[in-house]
Structure 1
Amino acid sequence: MLIQALTPADKSPLLALARRIADAGCNLSESRVSTIGTEVSLMLLASGAWDALAKLETALTKLARDESLRLVHYRTGQRGNSAQLPYLVEVVAADRPGIVARIVEFFAQHEISVEQLNSTRYRAMQTGAEMFQAQFTIGIPADIHIAALRDDFLELCDGMNLDAIMDPVKF
């Protein structure tokens, strides 16, 4: 079951959700928690037997009545075991519109999935310039030639005046 929650950061429902998942007899299979601005976003994947999931659905419906919590949950299927190679892409540049869109478009054209994306803007310490930084975790199909893909990606980044690297994820 996929659970998404949005709420003010000072009222994070992580503990309440983790307890309800455990109390229902489910496991917390995957989780992502991020604070963005003044809000916290949680994406949780709970797994368990059908009756445990039904119990969790009831508990989540009760929790969703809290006015400061935006909660969505639904049953989802298991992720397929496709042969993808996990790679980390990091990009740093002077901030300007369209950087993420162009990078995501490049990956989409090559049928590469973006598994995770973290990005932020900040002010450079020495110059005070507005900067942009992003980290993408991508899944590269096993039949794609990595060196050619890396060359094409770095050529794109050079054309956009982006500092970028593409390396395998190290676990």
Structure 2
Amino acid sequence: MPEIKKYLSIVALGANRDKLARDLVGAIGRRGCEISECRITPLGDHFSASMLLCGNWSAMGKMESALPGLAEHLGLSVQFQHSRPAEPQSDFRPYAAEVVAPQQPRLLAELLDFFTDQGTSVIEVSCQAYDSGLTGAAMCTMHMAVHVPTNHHPQTLRDAFMDVCDDLHADGLLDPIKT
């Protein structure tokens, strides 16, 4: 009988320091867990990690019991919940949306509203503000992974996206993700 895997989602945040990612990943492995999905990135001067761990019930029990002490030892704030892997969605096509625009307080909200109104699902967002090296202007880049229903006409969605980008004084691209 195959062993049933259990899943645990964790989110960790703390002051950034050398080797923090290595220490966290190592502690997870020592408890018999695998990392199924992981995103580790700095947020300002902080370390952030989102992970989906998997393992047998014994490894998950060890991990869950160890997390409070591990968080204290590593100087992290950690939240966790039992979870499951995402269900495959064959009735969607993956697209990548990229936007470069002047920094605006509602830019992300406007783009999320657009994709929601189009019946698509934004599944991942990455944003970064920066000052232009050439002009010093406050700018922003956004990368989004979007699930587009297979019954949507791609060019119609792309044209509507370009119209929204024009309204926001942004440059944008919407292309299929080729995997």
The aligned residue for residue 9 of structure 2 is 2
What pairs with 1:22-37 in structure 2 (closer than 5 Å)?
22-37=29-44
Contact 1:64/1:70 (8 A) holds in 2: yes
Contact 1:26/1:47 (8 A) holds in 2: yes
What pairs with 1:83-102 in structure 2 (closer than 5 Å)?
83=90, 84-102=92-110
Structure 1 gap segments, 5+ residues each: none
Indicate yes or no: 2:144 matched with 1:136: yes
**More displaced 10-residue stretch of structure 1: 91-100 or 31-40:** 91-100
Contact 1:95/1:131 (8 A) holds in 2: yes
Contact 1:94/1:132 (8 A) holds in 2: yes
TM-fit CA distance, 1:60: 1.3
Contact 1:12/1:40 (8 A) holds in 2: no
The aligned residue for residue 161 of structure 1 is 169
TM-fit CA distance, 1:11: 5.7
Matched residue type, 1:159: D
Aligned residues: 171
Contact 2:37/2:51 (8 A) holds in 1: yes
Taking the aligned partners of 1:118 and 1:55, their CA distance within structure 2 comes to: 32
Taking the aligned partners of 2:37 and 2:26, their CA distance within structure 1 comes to: 15
Taking the aligned partners of 2:23 and 2:137, their CA distance within structure 1 comes to: 41
TM-score by length of 2: 0.88
Structure 2 gap segments, 5+ residues each: 1-7
Contact 1:87/1:166 (8 A) holds in 2: yes
The correspondence for 2:135, drawn from 106, 110, 127, is: 127
Indicate yes or no: 2:119 matched with 1:111: yes
The aligned residue for residue 23 of structure 2 is 16
Matched residue type, 1:69: L
The aligned residue for residue 79 of structure 2 is 72
Residue 144 of structure 1 aligns to a residue whose secondary structure is: coil
Residue 51 of structure 1 aligns to a residue whose secondary structure is: helix
TM-fit CA distance, 1:67: 7.8
Compared with structure 1, are the counterparts of its residues 13 and 111 closer, same or farther at alpha carbon in structure 2 (3 Å cutoff)? farther
TM-score by length of 1: 0.91
Indicate yes or no: 2:42 matched with 1:41: no
